[in-house]
Amino acid sequence: MTDFQDRFFQHVDDNTRLYVDRLAEAVAIPSISSDLDAHLEDINKMIDWTKDHIERLGGNARVMDNPVATAERPLPPILLGDFIVDPEKKTVCVYGHLDVQPAAKEDGWDTDPFTLTEKDGKLFGRGSTDDKGPALSWLWIVEAHQQLGVELPVNIKIMYEGMEESSSDGLFETIVEESKEGKFLNDVDFFCISDNYWLGKAKPCLTYGLRGLAYFQVEVQGSEQDLHSGVLGGTVHEAMTDLVRIMGNLVDSKGNILVDGIMDSVKPVTQEETKMYDTIDFDMEEYKKENKIIGDKLLHDDRTRLLMGRWRYPTLSLHGIEGAFSGKGAKTVIPAKVLGKFSLRLVPDQKPKEIERLVAEHIKRDFASLGSPNKL
Protein backbone atom coordinates (compact mmCIF):
# COMPACT_ATOMS: atom_id res chain seq x y z
CA MET A 1 0.00 0.00 0.00
CA THR A 2 1.02 3.60 -0.52
CA ASP A 3 1.78 5.96 2.34
CA PHE A 4 -1.57 7.69 1.82
CA GLN A 5 -3.46 4.40 1.90
CA ASP A 6 -1.81 3.54 5.22
CA ARG A 7 -2.72 6.93 6.63
CA PHE A 8 -6.25 6.74 5.23
CA PHE A 9 -7.05 3.34 6.73
CA GLN A 10 -5.53 4.38 10.05
CA HIS A 11 -7.70 7.50 10.00
CA VAL A 12 -10.79 5.36 9.40
CA ASP A 13 -9.85 3.06 12.29
CA ASP A 14 -9.25 6.04 14.57
CA ASN A 15 -12.68 7.49 13.74
CA THR A 16 -14.75 4.30 13.78
CA ARG A 17 -16.69 5.38 16.86
CA LEU A 18 -17.64 8.66 15.18
CA TYR A 19 -18.86 6.89 12.03
CA VAL A 20 -20.92 4.42 14.07
CA ASP A 21 -22.49 7.24 16.08
CA ARG A 22 -23.44 9.09 12.90
CA LEU A 23 -24.92 5.94 11.42
CA ALA A 24 -26.95 5.52 14.60
CA GLU A 25 -28.37 9.02 14.09
CA ALA A 26 -29.39 8.14 10.54
CA VAL A 27 -30.86 4.74 11.43
CA ALA A 28 -32.98 6.39 14.14
CA ILE A 29 -34.88 8.33 11.46
CA PRO A 30 -37.68 5.98 10.25
CA SER A 31 -37.62 7.13 6.62
CA ILE A 32 -40.10 4.49 5.39
CA SER A 33 -41.19 5.29 1.84
CA SER A 34 -43.96 2.69 1.59
CA ASP A 35 -46.06 4.66 4.10
CA LEU A 36 -45.81 8.32 3.10
CA ASP A 37 -48.85 9.29 5.14
CA ALA A 38 -46.92 8.43 8.28
CA HIS A 39 -43.31 8.94 7.22
CA LEU A 40 -42.99 11.61 4.52
CA GLU A 41 -41.63 14.06 7.10
CA ASP A 42 -39.14 11.45 8.30
CA ILE A 43 -37.79 11.03 4.76
CA ASN A 44 -37.54 14.82 4.41
CA LYS A 45 -35.70 14.93 7.74
CA MET A 46 -33.23 12.28 6.56
CA ILE A 47 -32.58 14.18 3.33
CA ASP A 48 -32.05 17.46 5.23
CA TRP A 49 -29.72 15.68 7.68
CA THR A 50 -27.58 14.46 4.77
CA LYS A 51 -27.69 17.86 3.04
CA ASP A 52 -26.37 19.52 6.20
CA HIS A 53 -23.39 17.16 6.25
CA ILE A 54 -22.58 17.84 2.59
CA GLU A 55 -22.61 21.58 3.25
CA ARG A 56 -20.61 21.18 6.48
CA LEU A 57 -17.87 19.58 4.39
CA GLY A 58 -17.88 22.48 1.93
CA GLY A 59 -19.89 20.80 -0.80
CA ASN A 60 -22.76 22.27 -2.75
CA ALA A 61 -26.17 20.74 -2.09
CA ARG A 62 -29.71 21.38 -3.21
CA VAL A 63 -32.99 19.67 -2.53
CA MET A 64 -34.90 19.24 -5.79
CA ASP A 65 -38.68 18.93 -5.83
CA ASN A 66 -39.84 15.52 -6.98
CA PRO A 67 -41.00 16.04 -10.59
CA VAL A 68 -43.96 13.65 -10.33
CA ALA A 69 -45.28 14.88 -6.99
CA THR A 70 -48.76 16.40 -6.89
CA ALA A 71 -50.86 18.19 -4.30
CA GLU A 72 -52.84 14.99 -3.86
CA ARG A 73 -49.72 12.83 -3.63
CA PRO A 74 -46.75 14.70 -2.15
CA LEU A 75 -43.42 12.91 -2.54
CA PRO A 76 -39.99 13.37 -0.98
CA PRO A 77 -37.47 15.47 -2.92
CA ILE A 78 -34.24 14.33 -4.52
CA LEU A 79 -30.91 15.45 -3.07
CA LEU A 80 -28.18 16.66 -5.43
CA GLY A 81 -24.74 17.54 -4.16
CA ASP A 82 -21.17 17.86 -5.38
CA PHE A 83 -17.54 18.21 -4.36
CA ILE A 84 -15.73 19.70 -7.36
CA VAL A 85 -11.97 19.78 -6.75
CA ASP A 86 -10.67 20.29 -10.30
CA PRO A 87 -12.67 20.81 -13.53
CA GLU A 88 -9.94 18.92 -15.38
CA LYS A 89 -10.46 15.76 -13.34
CA LYS A 90 -12.98 13.04 -14.10
CA THR A 91 -16.36 13.26 -12.38
CA VAL A 92 -18.03 10.35 -10.62
CA CYS A 93 -21.71 10.53 -9.70
CA VAL A 94 -22.71 8.40 -6.75
CA TYR A 95 -26.27 7.13 -6.51
CA GLY A 96 -27.81 6.02 -3.23
CA HIS A 97 -31.08 6.15 -1.35
CA LEU A 98 -32.03 7.39 2.10
CA ASP A 99 -35.41 5.65 2.47
CA VAL A 100 -35.90 2.22 4.02
CA GLN A 101 -38.32 -0.68 4.11
CA PRO A 102 -40.77 -1.01 7.02
CA ALA A 103 -39.44 -2.84 10.07
CA ALA A 104 -40.75 -3.87 13.47
CA LYS A 105 -39.59 -6.25 16.20
CA GLU A 106 -42.59 -8.47 15.53
CA ASP A 107 -41.20 -9.03 12.01
CA GLY A 108 -38.44 -11.13 13.55
CA TRP A 109 -35.91 -8.50 14.66
CA ASP A 110 -34.06 -9.30 17.89
CA THR A 111 -33.66 -5.58 18.62
CA ASP A 112 -35.44 -2.32 17.80
CA PRO A 113 -34.75 -1.89 14.04
CA PHE A 114 -34.47 1.88 14.42
CA THR A 115 -31.93 1.72 17.22
CA LEU A 116 -28.49 0.81 15.87
CA THR A 117 -27.28 -2.10 17.97
CA GLU A 118 -23.78 -3.57 18.13
CA LYS A 119 -23.67 -7.32 18.65
CA ASP A 120 -20.81 -9.78 18.06
CA GLY A 121 -18.89 -7.24 16.00
CA LYS A 122 -21.87 -6.45 13.76
CA LEU A 123 -24.21 -3.48 13.51
CA PHE A 124 -27.95 -4.13 13.33
CA GLY A 125 -30.40 -1.44 12.28
CA ARG A 126 -32.79 -0.73 9.42
CA GLY A 127 -30.85 0.98 6.63
CA SER A 128 -27.41 0.25 8.05
CA THR A 129 -26.48 -1.63 4.86
CA ASP A 130 -29.41 -0.75 2.59
CA ASP A 131 -28.63 1.98 2.03
CA LYS A 132 -27.84 4.66 4.59
CA GLY A 133 -24.49 3.19 5.59
CA PRO A 134 -23.04 2.90 2.06
CA ALA A 135 -24.54 6.22 0.91
CA LEU A 136 -23.21 8.19 3.86
CA SER A 137 -19.78 6.57 3.69
CA TRP A 138 -19.03 8.68 0.62
CA LEU A 139 -19.31 11.79 2.77
CA TRP A 140 -16.92 10.39 5.34
CA ILE A 141 -14.47 9.53 2.53
CA VAL A 142 -14.53 13.19 1.45
CA GLU A 143 -14.08 14.26 5.07
CA ALA A 144 -11.12 11.91 5.55
CA HIS A 145 -9.35 13.33 2.51
CA GLN A 146 -9.89 16.84 3.82
CA GLN A 147 -8.61 16.02 7.30
CA LEU A 148 -5.54 14.26 5.88
CA GLY A 149 -4.82 17.19 3.58
CA VAL A 150 -5.12 15.16 0.38
CA GLU A 151 -7.13 16.30 -2.63
CA LEU A 152 -9.79 13.95 -3.95
CA PRO A 153 -8.61 12.05 -7.05
CA VAL A 154 -11.92 12.77 -8.82
CA ASN A 155 -14.79 15.20 -8.61
CA ILE A 156 -17.76 13.68 -6.79
CA LYS A 157 -21.41 14.31 -7.48
CA ILE A 158 -24.17 12.86 -5.34
CA MET A 159 -27.72 11.90 -6.26
CA TYR A 160 -29.66 10.50 -3.32
CA GLU A 161 -33.39 9.77 -3.43
CA GLY A 162 -36.05 8.97 -0.87
CA MET A 163 -38.31 6.61 -2.85
CA GLU A 164 -36.05 3.75 -3.94
CA GLU A 165 -37.89 1.19 -1.85
CA SER A 166 -41.17 2.28 -3.48
CA SER A 167 -40.49 2.27 -7.23
CA SER A 168 -38.15 5.32 -7.29
CA ASP A 169 -41.01 7.63 -8.29
CA GLY A 170 -39.54 10.71 -9.96
CA LEU A 171 -35.97 9.44 -10.34
CA PHE A 172 -36.20 8.61 -14.05
CA GLU A 173 -37.68 12.03 -14.87
CA THR A 174 -34.97 13.71 -12.81
CA ILE A 175 -32.19 11.85 -14.62
CA VAL A 176 -33.63 12.79 -18.02
CA GLU A 177 -33.97 16.46 -17.07
CA GLU A 178 -30.61 16.77 -15.31
CA SER A 179 -28.75 15.08 -18.20
CA LYS A 180 -29.50 17.99 -20.51
CA GLU A 181 -26.82 20.45 -21.61
CA GLY A 182 -25.51 22.47 -18.70
CA LYS A 183 -27.47 20.50 -16.09
CA PHE A 184 -26.23 18.56 -13.07
CA LEU A 185 -25.49 15.22 -14.77
CA ASN A 186 -24.29 16.47 -18.15
CA ASP A 187 -20.56 16.40 -17.29
CA VAL A 188 -20.55 13.09 -15.39
CA ASP A 189 -17.99 10.55 -16.63
CA PHE A 190 -18.89 7.59 -14.42
CA PHE A 191 -21.76 6.44 -12.22
CA CYS A 192 -21.40 4.36 -9.08
CA ILE A 193 -24.47 2.70 -7.55
CA SER A 194 -23.69 2.38 -3.87
CA ASP A 195 -26.50 -0.03 -3.05
CA ASN A 196 -25.63 -3.70 -3.13
CA TYR A 197 -24.40 -6.58 -1.00
CA TRP A 198 -21.28 -8.67 -0.62
CA LEU A 199 -21.54 -12.40 -1.19
CA GLY A 200 -19.82 -13.15 2.11
CA LYS A 201 -18.35 -11.32 5.06
CA ALA A 202 -14.69 -11.12 4.05
CA LYS A 203 -14.36 -10.11 0.40
CA PRO A 204 -15.98 -7.00 -1.17
CA CYS A 205 -17.86 -7.23 -4.47
CA LEU A 206 -17.48 -4.93 -7.45
CA THR A 207 -20.95 -5.03 -9.04
CA TYR A 208 -21.22 -4.13 -12.72
CA GLY A 209 -24.91 -4.78 -13.26
CA LEU A 210 -28.20 -5.32 -11.47
CA ARG A 211 -31.44 -7.05 -12.44
CA GLY A 212 -34.48 -4.92 -13.16
CA LEU A 213 -37.90 -5.11 -11.55
CA ALA A 214 -41.46 -5.52 -12.79
CA TYR A 215 -44.01 -5.34 -9.96
CA PHE A 216 -47.55 -6.68 -10.30
CA GLN A 217 -50.83 -6.66 -8.40
CA VAL A 218 -53.74 -8.94 -9.22
CA GLU A 219 -57.14 -8.34 -7.67
CA VAL A 220 -60.08 -10.74 -7.37
CA GLN A 221 -63.47 -9.64 -6.05
CA GLY A 222 -66.27 -12.02 -5.15
CA SER A 223 -68.75 -9.85 -3.22
CA GLU A 224 -69.38 -6.30 -2.10
CA GLN A 225 -68.77 -7.11 1.55
CA ASP A 226 -66.92 -9.67 3.65
CA LEU A 227 -68.94 -12.84 4.29
CA HIS A 228 -69.24 -15.31 7.19
CA SER A 229 -67.78 -18.69 6.27
CA GLY A 230 -70.08 -20.47 8.74
CA VAL A 231 -73.13 -19.06 6.99
CA LEU A 232 -72.10 -18.72 3.35
CA GLY A 233 -69.12 -21.06 3.02
CA GLY A 234 -69.88 -23.72 0.44
CA THR A 235 -72.42 -21.58 -1.42
CA VAL A 236 -70.25 -18.86 -3.02
CA HIS A 237 -67.17 -18.67 -5.22
CA GLU A 238 -64.54 -17.33 -2.83
CA ALA A 239 -62.18 -14.64 -4.11
CA MET A 240 -59.32 -15.90 -1.94
CA THR A 241 -59.55 -19.38 -3.43
CA ASP A 242 -59.31 -17.96 -6.94
CA LEU A 243 -56.39 -15.72 -6.05
CA VAL A 244 -54.41 -18.49 -4.38
CA ARG A 245 -54.90 -20.69 -7.44
CA ILE A 246 -53.71 -17.87 -9.72
CA MET A 247 -50.65 -17.02 -7.64
CA GLY A 248 -49.81 -20.68 -7.17
CA ASN A 249 -49.57 -21.06 -10.93
CA LEU A 250 -47.01 -18.30 -11.44
CA VAL A 251 -43.93 -20.11 -10.09
CA ASP A 252 -43.27 -23.66 -8.92
CA SER A 253 -41.53 -24.92 -5.78
CA LYS A 254 -38.20 -25.12 -7.64
CA GLY A 255 -38.34 -21.44 -8.61
CA ASN A 256 -39.23 -22.11 -12.24
CA ILE A 257 -41.38 -19.35 -13.73
CA LEU A 258 -44.58 -20.83 -15.16
CA VAL A 259 -45.52 -17.86 -17.35
CA ASP A 260 -45.13 -18.85 -21.01
CA GLY A 261 -42.57 -16.82 -22.95
CA ILE A 262 -40.76 -15.24 -20.00
CA MET A 263 -37.50 -17.10 -20.70
CA ASP A 264 -37.56 -16.68 -24.48
CA SER A 265 -35.41 -13.52 -24.54
CA VAL A 266 -32.86 -14.70 -21.97
CA LYS A 267 -29.45 -15.21 -23.55
CA PRO A 268 -27.95 -18.71 -23.34
CA VAL A 269 -25.02 -19.21 -20.99
CA THR A 270 -21.61 -19.33 -22.64
CA GLN A 271 -18.61 -21.40 -21.54
CA GLU A 272 -16.67 -18.23 -20.81
CA GLU A 273 -19.44 -17.01 -18.54
CA THR A 274 -19.60 -20.29 -16.66
CA LYS A 275 -15.84 -20.19 -16.08
CA MET A 276 -16.19 -16.70 -14.59
CA TYR A 277 -18.76 -17.94 -12.09
CA ASP A 278 -16.56 -20.89 -11.19
CA THR A 279 -13.82 -18.56 -9.94
CA ILE A 280 -16.05 -16.47 -7.63
CA ASP A 281 -15.28 -16.87 -3.93
CA PHE A 282 -18.57 -18.13 -2.48
CA ASP A 283 -19.37 -20.43 0.46
CA MET A 284 -22.87 -21.94 0.27
CA GLU A 285 -22.90 -23.00 3.92
CA GLU A 286 -21.93 -19.52 5.06
CA TYR A 287 -24.58 -18.10 2.73
CA LYS A 288 -27.27 -20.20 4.44
CA LYS A 289 -26.02 -19.25 7.88
CA GLU A 290 -25.76 -15.54 7.12
CA ASN A 291 -29.31 -15.40 5.75
CA LYS A 292 -30.73 -17.62 8.52
CA ILE A 293 -32.08 -20.19 6.07
CA ILE A 294 -34.15 -22.88 7.77
CA GLY A 295 -33.40 -26.40 6.56
CA ASP A 296 -30.37 -27.87 4.90
CA LYS A 297 -31.09 -27.11 1.24
CA LEU A 298 -31.05 -24.07 -1.01
CA LEU A 299 -32.89 -23.89 -4.32
CA HIS A 300 -29.85 -25.32 -6.15
CA ASP A 301 -27.11 -27.65 -4.93
CA ASP A 302 -24.60 -26.41 -7.50
CA ARG A 303 -22.87 -23.18 -6.45
CA THR A 304 -22.56 -21.85 -10.01
CA ARG A 305 -26.26 -22.46 -10.72
CA LEU A 306 -27.14 -20.85 -7.39
CA LEU A 307 -25.17 -17.70 -8.22
CA MET A 308 -26.77 -17.55 -11.65
CA GLY A 309 -30.16 -17.81 -9.96
CA ARG A 310 -29.28 -14.80 -7.87
CA TRP A 311 -27.75 -12.69 -10.63
CA ARG A 312 -28.23 -13.98 -14.15
CA TYR A 313 -31.70 -15.44 -14.57
CA PRO A 314 -35.11 -13.81 -14.11
CA THR A 315 -37.00 -14.80 -10.98
CA LEU A 316 -40.58 -14.48 -9.78
CA SER A 317 -41.38 -13.94 -6.09
CA LEU A 318 -44.73 -13.80 -4.30
CA HIS A 319 -44.89 -11.00 -1.72
CA GLY A 320 -48.28 -10.94 -0.03
CA ILE A 321 -52.05 -10.71 -0.13
CA GLU A 322 -53.89 -7.55 0.83
CA GLY A 323 -57.47 -7.70 2.05
CA ALA A 324 -57.17 -11.07 3.78
CA PHE A 325 -57.12 -11.51 7.54
CA SER A 326 -53.54 -11.52 8.81
CA GLY A 327 -53.84 -10.59 12.48
CA LYS A 328 -53.33 -12.78 15.51
CA GLY A 329 -56.00 -15.26 16.50
CA ALA A 330 -58.71 -16.83 14.38
CA LYS A 331 -61.18 -15.06 12.11
CA THR A 332 -63.49 -17.02 9.84
CA VAL A 333 -64.25 -14.27 7.35
CA ILE A 334 -64.54 -14.84 3.59
CA PRO A 335 -62.86 -11.70 2.23
CA ALA A 336 -64.88 -9.80 -0.36
CA LYS A 337 -61.84 -8.64 -2.31
CA VAL A 338 -58.20 -9.68 -2.19
CA LEU A 339 -55.12 -8.22 -3.87
CA GLY A 340 -52.12 -10.41 -4.58
CA LYS A 341 -48.67 -8.88 -4.99
CA PHE A 342 -45.69 -10.36 -6.81
CA SER A 343 -42.71 -9.25 -8.87
CA LEU A 344 -40.24 -10.43 -11.46
CA ARG A 345 -36.55 -9.62 -11.53
CA LEU A 346 -35.58 -8.95 -15.13
CA VAL A 347 -32.32 -9.51 -16.99
CA PRO A 348 -30.83 -7.96 -20.16
CA ASP A 349 -33.00 -8.18 -23.30
CA GLN A 350 -36.21 -8.56 -21.31
CA LYS A 351 -38.52 -5.62 -22.04
CA PRO A 352 -40.88 -4.56 -19.22
CA LYS A 353 -43.82 -3.94 -21.59
CA GLU A 354 -43.44 -7.38 -23.12
CA ILE A 355 -43.16 -9.00 -19.70
CA GLU A 356 -46.29 -7.15 -18.61
CA ARG A 357 -48.17 -8.48 -21.64
CA LEU A 358 -47.06 -12.05 -21.05
CA VAL A 359 -47.99 -11.96 -17.37
CA ALA A 360 -51.40 -10.39 -18.02
CA GLU A 361 -52.21 -12.96 -20.70
CA HIS A 362 -51.13 -15.80 -18.41
CA ILE A 363 -53.27 -14.59 -15.51
CA LYS A 364 -56.35 -13.98 -17.68
CA ARG A 365 -56.01 -17.38 -19.27
CA ASP A 366 -55.50 -19.05 -15.90
CA PHE A 367 -58.47 -17.27 -14.35
CA ALA A 368 -60.71 -18.21 -17.28
CA SER A 369 -59.83 -21.88 -16.75
CA LEU A 370 -61.29 -21.68 -13.23
CA GLY A 371 -64.77 -20.96 -14.57
CA SER A 372 -65.27 -18.50 -11.75
CA PRO A 373 -67.91 -15.74 -11.90
CA ASN A 374 -65.76 -13.51 -9.72
CA LYS A 375 -64.27 -10.27 -11.03
CA LEU A 376 -60.57 -10.22 -12.00
Q: Which of 82, 130, 131, 164 is catalytic?
A: 164
Taking the C-alpha atoms of residue 30 and residue 26, their distance in angstroms, rounded to an integer, is 9
Is there a catalytic annotation at residue 164?
yes
Is there a catalytic annotation at residue 252?
no
Q: Which helix (H) or strand (E) holds 140?
A: helix 132-148
Taking the C-alpha atoms of residue 336 and residue 221, their distance in angstroms, rounded to an integer, is 6
Residue type, 162: G
Q: Which of 99, 130, 131, 169 is catalytic?
A: 99
Catalytic center residues: 99, 164
